[in-house]
Amino acid sequence: MWSRVLPLLALGGCAQIFEIESTSKLQPDARMAPDSGQPCIGGEAREVDPTTGSCFMYFTTPMTRDAARSVCSGFGPTAHLAIIKSASENALVARLIGMDHAFIGASDDVTEGTFLWDDGTPFQLTNWNPGEPNDAGANEDCVEIVGAAAGKWNDVPCAPTPTNTLGSYSFVCQRD
Ligand code: MFU
Ligand code: CA
């Protein structure tokens, strides 16, 4: 009986030692590697902002804003829909999307008419296309960057509704 149980106990002990080693040695190593130290890969096109080191990635599969957010989050704890804080960063994102238009990480979800970035900060750079934001159909709480308008912004629906098929777009992620 013990000849059968002891090897199992020994295995269990080993597993425990391995677990202790993997949390005390490997995990601190992983934490010391900053996300910005990883290569900028992903999406159809990508580019690093030389000023901040953030990686911007352009995705062409149209999605709702919430689905796009999930895709961006999948790139790690510092990843999110693009938050554009300078004219040079806007030019970078505009370059990525060419003549397409794509969700960026801003909305007036919290207070109608007050657009904020998804990190809760107000716009430093304001880059609306003339006439925007116009909340067309009283249903435009999200924001796209428009390649054909030289990177200007337009408020758009965050998702299609039964009466409006618009709201599913390309998008740009950012990993810091
Ligand atoms: C403008 C934009 C809308 C939408 C529509 C097709 O409204 O403000 O967001 O793109 O054109 C007239
Ligand atoms: Ca609009």
Q: Is the C-beta atom of 164 inside 6 A of ligand 1?
A: no
pLDDT of residue 95: 98
**133 preceded by a cis bond (ω within 30 of 0):** yes
pLDDT of residue 30: 46
Q: Of 143, 148, 61, whose CA–CA distance to 99 is shortest? A: 148
* Closest CA to ligand 1's atom 12: 136
The answer to whether residues 18 and 95 belong to one domain is: no
- Geometric angle at alpha carbon 64, from 83 and 81, rounded to 5°: 15
Range of the domain at 117: 35-175
Q: Is the C-beta atom of 134 inside 6 A of ligand 1?
A: yes
Neighbours of ion ligand 2 (CB under 5 A): 132, 134, 136, 140, 154-155
The answer to whether residues 29 and 41 belong to one domain is: no
| Alpha helices (H) in the chain, listed in sequence order | 2-21, 27-32, 65-73, 87-97
**Would you say 40 and 46 are in contact if contact means Cβ atoms under 8 Å apart?**
yes
- Range with lowest mean pLDDT among 18-27, 59-68, 115-124: 18-27
Q: Of 90, 89, 72, 68, whose CA–CA distance to 146 is shortest? A: 90
The answer to whether residues 82 and 14 belong to one domain is: no
> Do the bridges between strand 55-63 and strand 169-175 make them parallel or antiparallel, or are there none, so unpaired?
antiparallel
pLDDT in tens, 39-66: 999 999 999 999 999 999 999 999 999 9
Percent of the chain whose predicted confidence (pLDDT) is above 70: 80
pLDDT band for position 3 (cuts 50, 70, 90): very low
Q: Which residues contact 137 (CB under 8 A, 6 or more apart)?
A: 157, 164
| Rounded CA separation 77/136 (Å) | 34
The answer to whether residues 55 and 135 belong to one domain is: yes
Q: How many domains does the chain have?
A: 2
Of ligand 1's listed atoms, the one at least distance from the Cα of 156 is 9
Q: Which residues contact 153 (CB under 8 A, 6 or more apart)?
A: 104, 106, 127, 128, 129, 132, 133, 143, 144, 145, 146
Q: Is the C-beta atom of 129 inside 6 A of ligand 1?
A: no
pLDDT of residue 36: 59
The answer to whether residues 137 and 58 belong to one domain is: yes
